[in-house]
Structure 1
Amino acid sequence: MRRRLSTILTTSSAVIAITATAIAPAAAADPAEHLDSATIPALQRQMAAGRLSAVGLTSAYLRRIRTVDREVHAVMRVEPDALAQAAASDRRRRSNALRGPLDGIPVLLKDNIDAGVTTAGSRALLGSRPAKDAELVRKLRAAGAVILGKTNLSEWANFRSTKATSGWSGVGGQTANPHVLDRNPCGSSSGSGAAVAASLAQVAIGTETNGSIVCPAGATGVVGLKPTLGVVSGEGVVPISHEQDTAGPMARHVVDVAITLDALRARPAATAPASLRGSRIGVWRRAGADPDVDRVLNSTVDLLRVNGVTVVDVEPPYLDQAGEHSLDVLLSEFKRDLPAYLATRSCGPKTLDELVRFNAKDPVELSKFGQELFTRTLTAAPTTDPEYRRKRALVTDLSRRSIDETLAEHRLDAILAPTNSPAWKTEYGEGDAFVLGSSAPAAMAGYPNITVPAGAAGPLPIGVSLFAGRDSDARLLALAAGFERLRPARLTPRYLPTLPR
């Protein structure tokens, strides 16, 4: 049954109305049949009507993890108390004491977010535990979410080697793209994207420094939001750079991302709802890199124009200059931020020197690629150095001006760009066969960025991203929901061993 669903998300400073097309599951003994298409509000209606319980929903996801994840390898660990958490939600429902729309909804966490065993994919952290849950996990628990387990990731959030292969970690092995199993899921939130695409949880939490939410979401064909820097707390998240790192939600539907963001917020939302019809969207085409991307983007532009959107071609300025110093500042910030995080752990390595020595002796850690970024970090400039401060100011200022000036010049509501080219074949030795991305401007600026499925190259998804200025998260969610209604392009994975000839 198809129906229009208006979900009102109330925050301390704003009411954000997100209208989405939802497919409500029919009454059934086994909810697993409907997991791929069900939204959080549809599941909550089922539970309110007594046709589904949180225990039943959690059990269905656990069954899929036991079966489907044998091929995908997205989930590192399942929480042993997941069913007990779900049973507690069912008791709250019977007592009319629900904590909100996430109550009883299973959520997976990227394994660089502190909650129980947390490794960032590194065998060096297997024997060490964080002192407490990350703040964002405490918020999820307070909202009643069922913490289902941990997802695999590109080790150390893809900040160990210049030739790393996305989706591989020493702890979790290689995550596959559920659409075509020998294709890469992109990184570093590889397991989070693949798990949501394969319906192993209703929602997953990823993290991004530059592309690590939107790229895996695009490559696996789901919705992923990198929020404005500071909207979600970074306390208890294994860092690369506090100047760019942020956690964010990934799900199969925009409405689920919006509901989850509301629970995760560390500060109030700005009020900026928007309608796709009548909006002005700048299109950064990134043309010529991939013919399938060009085809999907051209059809997207045509669809928007037919549906009352003014589309303007744009080319954001200053990005080469900003990108020139991006790695240098991240190395300095990693040198500062990672040891400070390691000091909070119960035991294990406390310095980058110790991690480098551990990896050199371990039989698994350097089996696929090296640790050149770790060794470069050892000699990086400290964040007290004036040259570092000059470069960081340049990166941040130019990337923000790139977006702000483009929006102002053309009176735009957002900028749209291709998120990803079709997923490449997973191989080791030379790193990812990455063709294009559009994450850098918003990542360096600390601005929000959301990706939504837009089309495909055969069985491989292609997404488009929408980004805008600081605290435009609500506006982007509304625009993304409108686009999702116009083009419901998400593919259900087929788990093909390889691409057909």
Structure 2
Amino acid sequence: MRNIIPGAALALPLAALALLPSAVSAQSAPAPMQAATSAAKDAAERQLLAIAQMDDAGPKLNAVIATNPDAPAQAEAAEKARLPLGGMTLLVKDNVETKDMPTTAGSLALKDNNTGRDAPLVARLRDAGGVILGKTNLSEWANIRSSGSTSGWSAVGGQTRNPHATDRNTCGSSSGSGAAVAAGFAWAAIGTETDGSITCPASINGIVGFKPTVGFVSRTHVVPISHSQDTAGPMARSSYVAAMIMNAIAGSDPADPATAEADARKVDFTQGMLDTSLKGVRFGVMRKQVGSFAPVTELFEKALEDLRNAGAELVEIEYQDPESMGADEFTVLLFELREDLGTYLTGSPADIPVRSLADTIAFNNANAKDELRFFNQDIFEMAEATTDREAYEAARANSLKLAGKEGIDRLLAENNVSFLIAPTTGPAWPIDLIYGDDYPGSIGAGSLAAIAGYPHLSVPMGSIEGLPVGLSIMGAKWNDHEVLKMGAAYERARTAELPTPSFKPWEPADD
């Protein structure tokens, strides 16, 4: 299926083409040299066909909930206009509003949530020449409904499957976005993250996922969990492509106060991506966050060797999450979910049956056969009961301090390093709708960046028995451009072989 990887004309330096999927390189000549047919249109047509053959049929990845039949024509028009994204296709997680498709968050309660609105980040993509190919499946309600959930499942879209092993999980909650990009269904995708929901599916599906600084990308018209931690971000095949998408979606939005500084902080995220050196760059190696699974440790050591060989300086860091940080984060998410989701549902112009979290809980109970068959809604119920504002404010202040000032900021300063690195997570676990997820909890440090609202990039660093594993690179607030450049530099230095999706159930790799 490698021949269905998306491509279209790009106004890119020739060296950048090596960082894009192969079909892009083959079709990226300047406009006067192209054939009469539109490369962008052809790519969109191939992608829609691939979705029909591999997502709706064949291995039935269930990564895509809805598609846009007008995408080929839109891609051709954007290509002819020579806009920055040149008619490239993107799939958008189905908690982000698009004016031409419903936004369901995976729930039957929102199956008719046709708002007629583009989220500002979607409008920015269109203005830059991006084409919305469709909407991706997700862990329902962005995986905040139940403590016993199976990531990648929603009542609307069913169970998303990993292209590298179709009986294995895609991680949550941007599961469909990760699987779709890995499968070659689009040039890139948009995911959202509150804590791990871009970086984990990126790691497990073998792609790049970038969680920006909270406040770089508007959250308006995105079904929320937490205004303190939510952000959208790109999921792509390379750090360079993620940077291109950041150029399109970053910016201030008067309706989202968190983005007030975004315009002033915004840069050309692609600048320096092709030639930034690792020489002399100091990385803090989060040793305890490597975990105790030997195959992950072996992969990580290979990544460290690649960094050293490219001239990076590695500093061992000993760090342990304070117990209160995670507990306080959970209090914050519960309190803000009730308020923020209620505000979103009340403001939807669509004819939907729920206008509050309480309404949604009642809807699920009334439709338990479809909504609650595999797992309950205990987190929703806890959130509905979390009403102590004073306790919430104290929890937010403490968790933010522990993750930010006394977490990432302190680790960077005390160790004189510019970035923190660790494995993102372990390899994908088997899909299990009976027992739920089996997260490798001792691996990774992404909660620090999530709670602090700082940038976090996951880049593929190899595989274990054919199952991808990512490398996390985290930096200081608003240091997004530098984090992306480090991702691109590591990609050039990486010596590990990356796996190709099999579109089959997992089998042990051949010796």
TM-score of the alignment, normalized to the shorter chain, above 0.5? yes
Q: CA deviation at 1:206?
A: 0.2
Give the Cα separation in 2 of the matches to 1:66 and 1:290: 38
Matched, 1:241 2:226: yes
Moved more, 323-332 or 313-322: 313-322
Q: Which residue of the partner structure matches residue 383 of structure 2?
A: 377
Q: Which residue of the partner structure matches residue 29 of structure 1?
A: none
Partner-residue secondary structure (3-state), 1:118: coil
Q: Name which of 288, 293, 298 aligns with 1:295.
A: 298
Deviations 1:58-86 (A, max 9, x none): 11111111112232110111013212312
Q: CA deviation at 1:456?
A: 0.8
Matched, 1:350 2:339: no
Q: Name which of 373, 378, 387 aligns with 1:367.
A: 373
Moved more, 458-467 or 70-79: 70-79
Matched, 1:308 2:308: no
CA spacing shift, 1:43–1:438, aligned 2, 3 Å: farther
Give the Cα separation in 2 of the matches to 1:341 and 1:157: 14
Give the Cα separation in 2 of the matches to 1:208 and 1:43: 33
| Residue segments in structure 1 that go unaligned for 5+ positions in a row | 1-6, 10-16, 25-35
Q: Which residue of the partner structure matches residue 50 of structure 1?
A: 34
Question: In angstroms, what is the RMSD of aligned CA positions?
Answer: 2.2
Matched, 1:229 2:214: yes
Contact 1:222 1:453 in 2 (8 A): yes
Contact 2:97 2:119 in 1 (8 A): yes
Matched, 1:98 2:82: yes
Q: Which residue of the partner structure matches residue 64 of structure 1?
A: 50
Q: Which residue of the partner structure matches residue 254 of structure 2?
A: none
Q: Name which of 274, 277, 280 aligns with 1:275.
A: 277
Q: Name which of 411, 418, 430 aligns with 1:425.
A: 430
Contact 2:11 2:86 in 1 (8 A): no
Q: CA deviation at 1:442?
A: 0.2
CA spacing shift, 1:107–1:158, aligned 2, 3 Å: same
Residue identity in the other structure for 1:236: H
Q: Which residue of the partner structure matches residue 94 of structure 2?
A: 111
Partner-residue secondary structure (3-state), 2:29: helix
Contact 1:292 1:456 in 2 (8 A): no
Give the Cα separation in 2 of the matches to 1:247 and 1:45: 31
Q: Which residue of the partner structure matches residue 480 of structure 2?
A: 473
Give the Cα separation in 1 of the matches to 2:30 and 2:467: 32
Deviations 1:149-185 (A, max 9, x none): 0000000000000000000000000000100110001
Moved more, 200-209 or 355-364: 355-364
Residue identity in the other structure for 2:395: K
Give the Cα separation in 2 of the matches to 1:98 and 1:246: 29
Aligned length: 468
Partner-residue secondary structure (3-state), 1:364: helix
Contact 2:290 2:423 in 1 (8 A): no
Residue identity in the other structure for 2:436: G
Give the share of equivalent positions with the same residue, in percent: 42
Deviations 1:432-452 (A, max 9, x none): 100133210000000000010
Give the Cα separation in 2 of the matches to 1:478 and 1:142: 25
Contact 2:284 2:314 in 1 (8 A): yes
Residue identity in the other structure for 1:413: S
Q: Please, what TM-score do these two structures have when normalized by structure 2? A: 0.87
Q: Which residue of the partner structure matches residue 493 of structure 1?
A: 501
Give the Cα separation in 2 of the matches to 1:46 and 1:289: 50
Contact 1:215 1:437 in 2 (8 A): no
Q: Which residue of the partner structure matches residue 286 of structure 2?
A: 284
Deviations 1:301-360 (A, max 9, x none): 122112211001113455433212111110000011001000122121101111111111
CA spacing shift, 1:87–1:287, aligned 2, 3 Å: closer
Contact 1:18 1:478 in 2 (8 A): no
Q: Name which of 464, 467, 472 aligns with 2:471.
A: 464
CA spacing shift, 1:183–1:440, aligned 2, 3 Å: same
Contact 2:466 2:508 in 1 (8 A): no
Q: CA deviation at 1:45?
A: 3.0
Contact 1:8 1:18 in 2 (8 A): no
Q: Please, what TM-score do these two structures have when normalized by structure 1? A: 0.89
Q: Name which of 110, 133, 143 aligns with 1:125.
A: 110
Partner-residue secondary structure (3-state), 1:247: strand
Q: CA deviation at 1:494?
A: 1.1
Q: Which residue of the partner structure matches residue 453 of structure 2?
A: 446
CA spacing shift, 1:38–1:447, aligned 2, 3 Å: farther
Q: Which residue of the partner structure matches residue 6 of structure 2?
A: none
Q: Name which of 82, 99, 110 aligns with 2:71.
A: 82
Matched, 1:170 2:155: yes
Residue identity in the other structure for 1:496: K
Partner-residue secondary structure (3-state), 2:82: coil
Deviations 1:220-256 (A, max 9, x none): 0000000000101000110000110000000111111
Residue identity in the other structure for 1:473: D
Give the Cα separation in 2 of the matches to 1:42 and 1:466: 31
Q: CA deviation at 1:53?
A: 2.2
Q: Which residue of the partner structure matches residue 484 of structure 1?
A: 491
Residue identity in the other structure for 1:427: D
Q: Name which of 393, 399, 419 aligns with 2:397.
A: 393
CA spacing shift, 1:404–1:89, aligned 2, 3 Å: same
Give the Cα separation in 2 of the matches to 1:176 and 1:48: 41
Give the Cα separation in 2 of the matches to 1:44 and 1:393: 49
Partner-residue secondary structure (3-state), 1:369: coil
Partner-residue secondary structure (3-state), 1:325: helix
